[in-house]
Amino acid sequence: MKPPAPLPNILANTLANTLDLIGNTPLVRLAGPSEAAGCDIYGKCEFANPGASVKDRAALGIIRDAESSGELKPDGTVIEGTAGNTGIGIALVANALGYKTVIVMPDNQSREKMDTLRALGARLVLVPPTKFANPGHFVHTSRRLAEETPGAIWANQFDNIANRRAHIETTAPEIWEQMGGKVDGFTCAAGTGGTIAGVGLGLKAKSEKVRIALTDPHGAALYSYYAEGELKSEGSSAAEGIGQGRITANLEGAPIDTQFRISDEEGLVWVGRLLQEEGLCLGLSSGINVAGAIELGKQLKADGIANPQVATILCDTGFRYLSSLYNPEWLAEKELPVFDWLKSGNGADRDD
């Protein structure tokens, strides 16, 4: 019996494996923000990653680095402290490569993140939210667990520069290529600092003229650090995964040219507008990033740059915050404005 004829070469545009789905996300012009800024504002659609957030890039970079160094052995365990998205990325990458996952997370993060991590097979350890100086902080708890667990590594996303290297090597060149080499400004908020530092360093390597701006929420200390040289926080924010009170290893040497402080209320305006006007369901960190991108665009125009183009990060999907950001009771409890369509009597039929 003759062997079957080879299949025709119809797979030229396929990917070799599922981990290749991470990165190469689309970049989209945002109409409302562009109009508000008077220039082109683009959003990098990181919710298109398999784990639905920008943190998939750091997860893959950290795990591949640990494999290369020999620290992570076959059938090993990856342990990390996270607000949730990095843990989701780690769990997916670990599943694809045959590792186990333990995630330590503050218990005030969204229910959807917790449910997702459990569904992915990660062991989830919840701890009370506390200041970084407290030994019970989720980062310190995850480090201790890694030290106590045979065959485990600690991902250490805040101070492991494999995090920012992932953005130097992937996110920055993607943005540069997608914008045809005309990138006048880039901004985003900082959690670990890996994204802002990595994209900033990667874009500066292409052109020193690219203006890199930190967009900081209230309650974080980096705005005052870059503006005045002192780590000092004011107010608070309900945004998950962003806001930092120290200079992490990923932030060391970050090429920050300017900085903006954005309130939750201003970020929510853009969360609402992007959903209602452009069909994008996003988290609060994305709304804060977009508000910062508008400010950066206005600044570049005021400085005489003709038709500036600004990019920012659309960090994750809003479907991860249905019990919080898109819950009118939660918003009211946080003393944040409730979206009009969520108010009683509006939108879909309600039982009340």
Residue 83 is predicted with a pLDDT of 86
Handedness of CA 286, 233, 310, 182 (dihedral sign): negative
Is the per-residue pLDDT at 352 higher than 60? no
3-class secondary structure per residue, 102-113: EEEEECCCCHHH
Residue 9 is predicted with a pLDDT of 55
Please give the residue that has the higher pLDDT: either 110 or 308: 308
Q: Name the residue type at position 342.
A: L
Q: Do domains 18-48+171-333 and 55-154 have the same CATH topology?
A: yes
DSSP 80: E
Pairing, β 77-81 against β 152-154: parallel
Residue 89 is predicted with a pLDDT of 97
3-state helix, strand and coil shares in percent for the chain, rounded to the nearest 5: 40, 15, 45
What is the per-residue pLDDT across 166-196, written as a single tens digit (0 to 9) for each?
A: 999 999 999 999 999 999 999 999 999 999 9
Q: Name the residue type at position 112.
A: E
What is the average per-residue pLDDT within 311-330? 97
Is the per-residue pLDDT at 346 higher than 70? no
What is the average per-residue pLDDT within 252-266? 98
What is the average per-residue pLDDT within 228-235? 94
The rounded percent of the chain whose pLDDT value lies above 90 is: 91
Structure tokens at 290: 């977009």
CATH architecture of the region 55-154: 3-Layer(aba) Sandwich (3.40)
Residue 6 is predicted with a pLDDT of 57
Is the per-residue pLDDT at 224 higher than 70? yes
Residue 104 to residue 84: CA distance in whole angstroms? 9
What is the average per-residue pLDDT within 78-93? 95
Which of these ranges, 107-111, 240-244, 312-316, 343-347, has the smallest mean pLDDT?
Answer: 343-347
Which ranges constitute the DSSP H helices of 102-260? Answer: 111-119, 138-148, 162-166, 172-178, 194-206, 222-228
What is the per-residue pLDDT across 274-296, written as a single tens digit (0 to 9) for each?
A: 999 999 999 999 999 999 999 99
Greatest alpha-carbon pair distance for the chain in Å reads: 79
Cα angle value 285/233/138 (rounded, 5°): 65
Residue 3 is predicted with a pLDDT of 59
Q: Is 272 exposed, middle or buried (CB count within 10 Å of its CB: 0-12, 13-18, 19+)?
A: middle
User: Is residue 351 very low, low, confident or very high in pLDDT (cuts 50, 70, 90)?
Assistant: very low
User: 44, 55, 113, 204: which is the annotated catalytic residue?
Assistant: 55
Residue 11 is predicted with a pLDDT of 63
73 is catalytic: no
**Residues in Cβ contact with 329 at an 8 Å cutoff, skipping those fewer than 6 apart:** none
What is the average per-residue pLDDT within 323-348? 88
User: Is residue 13 very low, low, confident or very high in pLDDT (cuts 50, 70, 90)?
Assistant: confident
Domain ranges for the chain: 18-48+171-333, 55-154
Average pLDDT, the chain: 94
State which fold the 18-48+171-333 domain adopts. Answer: Rossmann fold (3.40.50)
Q: Name the residue type at position 321.
A: Y
Residue 247 to residue 232: CA distance in whole angstroms? 12
The rounded percent of the chain whose pLDDT value lies above 70 is: 94
Is the per-residue pLDDT at 347 higher than 80? no
Buried/exposed code over 71-80 (b: 16+ C-beta within 10 A; e: otherwise)? ebeeebbbbb
Is the per-residue pLDDT at 348 higher than 80? no
Pairing, β 27-29 against β 40-45: antiparallel
Structure tokens at 119: 């569904």
